[in-house]
């Protein structure tokens, strides 16, 4: 597991935080730190503990172990008994279940967290926030008179109004239909960037995490598996779980030799710092492969999924292993036809030993499976 070492300038940090609900270990030894202005996407399958992490940060749950800080300020530490209640933590929340209040206008919704502010300042702030999300002209509407995207922007304005030091977003776009979701998330990302607000963004959607996050933290069964830039977690996953989480993936058998890797799809001139003969698994994504029709080929097309821009073929290799191969949409091969699978990644492939990535060598690899 990787965890982020704590830096002096971190706005938010969790240090080995654990939380159980009875027998369920929802969050285990979880460490993560956010730099000022960073958007961190926390991603993982449903039930892996993402919302619990947000609730712990917001102060809606108490950790069993570990420490949570905002900068140098410790807000939760069961060891010393420190506990700062949610309303004192200055976090902005935009949770799925925190929908807008239906009986309040847009302006009243945004003013909700500002009730202790003097009236004049409050009105000025509401106006400022509505202008920020381009909704000043709808201040007197009610939520049911707004589109889904407009409602999201009001919810964001409401979360930002009290000037939080950290913004926590939990699946904020899950109720929007796909077309609108893309547009709203671009707008919101742009806005968060512009404001430079430190944000922890929870989603179960891997594409959304790669799009939204300056860094992406991948969670699995209560634990942090890896944290890194979108490119790092996608191209250099540290565990099999992370590799498989970001889309169709196959692991083909490989054997280390002094010159490179022997695989069932041919030879890869990629050095692996392991003893000769070590058996590894090589991570192969659909765009690392191509198929060529070949009656003597040893691959069999067992499934074909037309995805518009391309076809995704599922090809059975002689070992019985199935690989996914992306192919341009114009090239259409029938089911059960025989093909030659060519491994042509154009970049180094990750190797795994006992489920963990072992190597990364800068070599351009090209190989083809013997027919
Ligand atoms: P995610 O947000 O990744 O879907 P959650 O943090 O909501 O996951 O849940 C993590 C685990 O903790 C799940 O197994 C869930 O059922 C359990 N859990 C969450 N909240 C509670 C609760 N209040 N009581 C009991 N179990 C809970």
183-194 pLDDT, tens digit each: 888 988 998 999
Q: How confident is the model at residue 329 (pLDDT cuts 50, 70, 90)?
A: confident
184-241 pLDDT, tens digit each: 889 889 989 998 999 999 999 999 999 999 999 999 999 999 999 999 999 889 999 9
Q: How confident is the model at residue 361 (pLDDT cuts 50, 70, 90)?
A: very low
pLDDT of 342 > 50? The answer is: yes
CA distances from 227 to 7, 37, 230 (A): 15, 17, 9
141-155 pLDDT, tens digit each: 999 999 888 888 899
| Number of the ligand 1 atom closest to the C-alpha atom of 170 | 2
pLDDT of 89 > 70? The answer is: yes
Q: For residues 227 and 216, is the Cβ–Cβ distance under 8 A?
A: yes
| Number of the ligand 1 atom closest to the C-alpha atom of 55 | 6
Q: For residues 54 and 40, is the Cβ–Cβ distance under 8 A?
A: no
Buried b (16+ CB within 10 A) or exposed e, 275-311: eeeeebbbbbbbbbbbbbebeebbbbbeebeeeeebb
Task: Indicate whether residue 174 lines ligand 1 (CB < 6 A).
Answer: no
249-267 pLDDT, tens digit each: 899 999 999 999 999 999 9
| Distance (Å, whole) CA 23 – CA 26 | 9
Strands 351-353 and 338-343, by their bridges, are unpaired
Which pTM does this prediction carry?
A: 0.87
| Distance (Å, whole) CA 305 – CA 45 | 24
Residue from 48, 52, 55, 203 to probe ligand 1 pocket by mutation (most atoms less than 8 Å from CB)? 52
Looking at ligand 1, which residue's alpha carbon is closest to its atom 24?
21
pLDDT of 87 > 70? The answer is: yes
Strands 198-203 and 166-170, by their bridges, are parallel
Task: Indicate whether residue 45 lines ligand 1 (CB < 6 A).
Answer: no
Looking at ligand 1, which residue's alpha carbon is closest to its atom 5?
49
Ligand 1 centroid–CA 25 distance in Å is: 9
């Amino acid at each position: 597991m990787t965890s982020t070492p704590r830096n002096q300038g971190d706005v938010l940090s969790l240090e080995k935080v654990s939380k159980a609900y009875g027998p369920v270990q929802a969050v285990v030894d979880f460490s993560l730190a956010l730099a000022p202005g960073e958007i961190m996407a926390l991603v993982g399958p449903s039930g892996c503990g993402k919302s619990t992490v947000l609730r712990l940060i917001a102060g809606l749950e108490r950790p069993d172990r570990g420490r949570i800080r905002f900068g140098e300020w410790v807000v939760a530490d069961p060891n010393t008994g420190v506990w700062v209640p949610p309303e004192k933590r200055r976090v902005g929340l935009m949770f799925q279940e925190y929908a807008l209040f239906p009986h309040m206008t847009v302006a009243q919704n945004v003013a909700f967290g500002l009730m202790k502010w003097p009236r004049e300042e409050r009105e000025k702030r509401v106006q400022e926030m509505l202008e920020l999300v381009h909704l000043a002209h709808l201040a007197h509407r009610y939520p049911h008179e707004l589109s889904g995207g407009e409602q999201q922007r009001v919810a964001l304005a409401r979360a930002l109004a009290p000037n939080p030091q950290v913004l926590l977003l939990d699946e904020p776009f899950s109720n929007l239909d796909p077309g609108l979701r893309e547009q709203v998330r671009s707008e919101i990302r742009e806005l968060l960037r512009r404001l430079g607000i430190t944000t922890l963004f929870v989603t179960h959607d891997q594409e959304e995490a790669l799009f939204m996050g300056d860094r992406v933290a991948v969670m699995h069964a209560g634990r942090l598996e890896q944290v890194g830039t979108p490119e790092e977690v996608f191209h250099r996953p540290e565990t099999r779980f992370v590799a498989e989480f970001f889309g169709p993936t196959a692991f083909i058998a490989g054997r280390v030799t002094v010159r490179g890797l022997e695989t069932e799809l041919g030879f890869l001139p990629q050095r692996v710092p392991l003893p000769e003969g070590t058996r590894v698994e090589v991570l192969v994504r659909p765009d690392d492969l191509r198929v060529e029709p070949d009656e003597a080929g040893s691959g069999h097309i067992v499934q074909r999924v037309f995805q518009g821009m391309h076809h995704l073929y599922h090809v059975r290799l002689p070992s019985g292993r199935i690989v996914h191969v992306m192919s341009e949409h114009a090239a259409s091969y029938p089911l059960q036809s025989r093909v030659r699978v060519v491994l042509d990644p154009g970049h180094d492939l990750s190797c795994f030993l006992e489920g963990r990535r072992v190597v990364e060598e800068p070599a351009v690899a090209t190989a083809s499976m013997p027919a």
